[in-house]
Chains A and B, each alone.
Chain A
Amino acid sequence: MITKRIIPCLDVRDGRVVKGVNFENLADVSSPVELAKFYSDNGADELVFYDITASAEGRALFTDILRETAKSVFIPLTVGGGINTTDDFDRVLKCGADKVSVNSGAIRNPNLIYEAAKLYGNQCVVISADVARVDGKYRVFAKGGREATDLEAVEWIKRCVDLGAGEVVLNSIDTDGVKGGFDIEMLDAVSNAVNVPVIASGGAGKISDFITLFNTLPRVDAGLAASIFHFGEVKISDLKAEMARAGIPTRI
């Protein structure tokens, strides 16, 4: 049986890991290479690197860091941030990424998903969506959650999967950084609408939030979090031991 995945997410800017609360107030946490190796050695099932750099220098630094990381980390590595063209896919795949996640780039040009899936396979293309409730509807946001779009989230994600996305990261802006648990309601709506793996993001504050997630929503495949892992509030080994005790399929 496929195990439920635990995925630490590293937001990288100018070569360092940062994590914002509700996407603001970024605070430097650690070196991406060291942190990635630490997680890989301590039970993480996969890693996500988001490049939140704005400058070309920062982007070059990011690919260097990615290459360094991929040399010493032997679990799947997903890269996102600033992916707008298939050339961007090529750039990060050559540096050791296994999957590439698209967000704003796909909102601007949904065909990017189709083109990339055709070139690299569906399994390589991850649609990452930042979603918040607006007037009782799930609305997709672009540019790291700063810009509202007209897109309804469930319809958008279904369309992305139809275009060839092989996996979905659903990040709830409403629960992100609050540490009050995952957005079960939103995840329920999305995970029932698609037949590809769904990764829950936004809101994890403690071990029981993951247990609740997997017990309540069997169609959710993975839980992603950042600061609670980076600051040691939740140890992945403790989390996985608790998951195993709760009867959730887990890689120990």
Chain B
Amino acid sequence: MVAIVDYGVGNLFSLKASFGEIGADVTVTSDAEVIKSASHILLPGVGAFSDAAKKLYDSGLWDAVKDEVNRGKPILGICLGMQLLFEKSFEYGEHEGLGLIKGEIRPISEVIPKDLKIPHIGWNALSITRPCDIFKNIKSGDCVYFVHSYYAKTDDAVVATAEYGAALTAAVARGNIYGCQFHPEKSGKTGLAILSAFCETEGI
């Protein structure tokens, strides 16, 4: 069973529907016990990093998520949920993340030309830089839907980038930990194929 972590940020309607569409057993939950009994964890998130991190902490699920992931359970972070997997973010100050992947969240304005619009919003092609389980049903050049103003600056975990004046981190993976900066639940067939592949990962 896939547990979508409900910690009070964002709209989980489409995410839940997309797992339903691919035939996965899915539950939206704010209960640590359900997260413990799940086979896969989905960490969503929209809005500002500090607000989301605080809500995850206040919900009492911060440690539950971290413990399960450290035990080897597969987790997929989406958008801000991916950013939360990192050590820290520089969105409006400096804030601590879950620290499951090395790296930090920085404004995309630091790396893209000034004439490009921010946020990076719309459909962009994935460039797969390393083979990854969650990409087994898709290929480089397939388009996915992005909405973000910050990106993950990381050396060791990038598995896909998207070209927007710079090669922005589009997806990361390390062991049982996966993250997508884009929204698979809004990326048509390509996105559903990524979610299906995630459901088939077995963790470590």
| A→B interface (CB under 8 Å) | 1-3, 5, 40, 45, 67, 70-72, 74-76, 93-96, 98, 120-123, 166-167, 195-197, 221-222, 251
Contact = CB atoms under 8 A, between A and B. Distances in A.
A98 B124 contact: no
A92 to B, nearest CB: 10
B120 A2 contact: yes
28 contacts: A1-B164, A2-B121, A3-B124, A3-B125, A3-B143, A45-B122, A70-B17, A71-B20, A74-B17, A74-B18, A74-B185, A74-B187, A76-B145, A76-B186, A95-B13, A96-B11, A96-B14, A120-B47, A121-B46, A121-B47, A123-B121, A166-B119, A167-B121, A196-B117, A197-B117, A221-B122, A251-B123, A251-B143
B121 A3 contact: no
Q: Which of B47, B121, B163, B191 has the most CB of A within 10 A?
A: B121
A2 B124 contact: yes
B21 interface: yes
Contacts of B47: 120-121
Given A74-B185, A74-B191, A121-B47, A166 B121 contact: yes
> Which 9 pairs show the lowest CB-CB distances between chains A and B?
A251-B143, A2-B122, A96-B13, A251-B123, A3-B123, A123-B147, A71-B17, A76-B186, A2-B124
B145 A75 contact: yes
Given A74-B192, A75-B145, 17 more contacts: A1-B125, A2-B164, A40-B188, A71-B20, A72-B17, A74-B18, A74-B186, A74-B188, A74-B191, A75-B187, A76-B145, A94-B11, A121-B46, A123-B121, A195-B118, A197-B117, A197-B122
A5 B123 contact: yes
Given A74-B186, A74-B188, A96-B14, A1 B121 contact: no
Contacts of B123: 2-3, 5, 45, 251
Interface string B123-163: 11100000000000000000101010000000000000001
Contacts of A167: 121
Nearest to A45: B123
Contacts of A96: 11, 13-14, 17
Interface in B43-75: 46-47
Contacts of A95: 13
Contacts of B188: 40, 74-75
Contacts of A74: 14, 17-18, 21, 185-188, 191-192
A80 B14 CA distance: 18
Contacts of B186: 74-76, 98
Interface string B10-31: 0101100110110000000000
Contacts of B120: 2
Given A1-B124, A94-B11, A195 B117 contact: yes
A195 B118 CA distance: 8
Q: Which of A2, A75, A76, A167 has the most CB of B within 10 A?
A: A2
Interface string B88-123: 000000000000000000000000000001111111
B7 to A, nearest CB: 17
A5 B14 CA distance: 20
Nearest to A219: B117
A2 B192 CA distance: 20
A164 to B, nearest CB: 12
Contacts of A72: 17, 21
A251 B11 CA distance: 26
B122 to A, nearest CB: 4
A166 B147 CA distance: 11
A45 B146 CA distance: 12
Interface in B148-185: 163-164, 185
Contacts of B121: 2, 123, 166-167, 197
